[in-house]
Amino acid sequence: MNDINREFDHGAAVDWHSKEAIADQLYDHRTYAAAGQNQLSFFLVPQGDGQSIFAGAGTPKTYEDTNMESAGQMNRGEAFLVQAIALRFTSGVSIVQDDITAAAPVAVNSPANDEQTFWNNGYLEFTVVNKVQTRLPISNFPPPTRLSMEAAFSSFYTQAAAGDGTIQTHAAHVVPVGQLFQPQAPGVTLEYGLKFKLTLNWSAAVAMPSNQDGRVQAMLIGRRLRIGQ
């Protein structure tokens, strides 16, 4: 029997007695509807299920959408230590020049309008099993990285109608700045079999000023623990 055990141990694809930990993230993307909604849930739909927001209609979620392989829990043989929580919002507005004239005073359609609306409304709730680990306003969860650009403004008056002023703007952005939010020290451990979810919640639907869908990425940042191989 001992010889058989040794043969199985030597031939095992994994070593349950050793573990390795790497810096990593769990991430998931959802569409923010132009008309708003009361809740968005993350990490509950894994790759291969649901609807991809990158690959087009009829395509299930891919690695571009999420790196979750199981619905709302870690795979067997893995655990994840959540050390920080972050969000990233992307407006559906194209980065183009907009004009304001006397004839069209509300023509400006900057990503900053959508971004300010998103970050200043609603709250995030992170739950493990049935326990709420974090419940705070959305603006408390700045992204670790973001796109950056310079916003330029110019104005001029036409000779034909001196009262007709035009302002040309290049897209500006509004993003919260601060430390990544840490739920507790040293973190919150997500283990196999323990269901978790992250939701964004609004008491009333908050529409996007641009009338275009946006995109939200939720990130759980920390360390992934997995069995040795």
Under a CB-based contact definition with an 8 Å cutoff, are residues 92 and 208 in contact? Answer: yes
- Which pLDDT does position 145 carry in this prediction? 84
Q: The whole model's pTM is what? A: 0.81
Residues whose CB is less than 8 angstroms from the CB of residue 5 and which lie 6 or more positions away in sequence, other chains included: none
Confidence of residue 106 (pLDDT cuts 50, 70, 90): very low
CA angle 208, 94, 119 (to 5 degrees): 35
Calculate what percentage of the chain has a pLDDT beyond 70.
75
- Number of neighbours of residue 82 by Cβ within 10 angstroms: 25
* pLDDT over 50 (residue 29): yes
E strand or H helix at 112:
helix 111-119
- Which pLDDT does position 163 carry in this prediction? 54
- Which pLDDT does position 141 carry in this prediction? 96
Tokens standing for 212?
């275009």
| Helices and strands: H and E segment counts in the chain | 2, 11
Calculate what percentage of the chain has a pLDDT beyond 90.
55
Under a CB-based contact definition with an 8 Å cutoff, are residues 82 and 183 in contact? Answer: yes
For the CA atoms of 63, 68, 71, 76, the dihedral, rounded to the nearest 10 degrees, stands at 130
- Averaged over 53-60, what is the pLDDT? 89
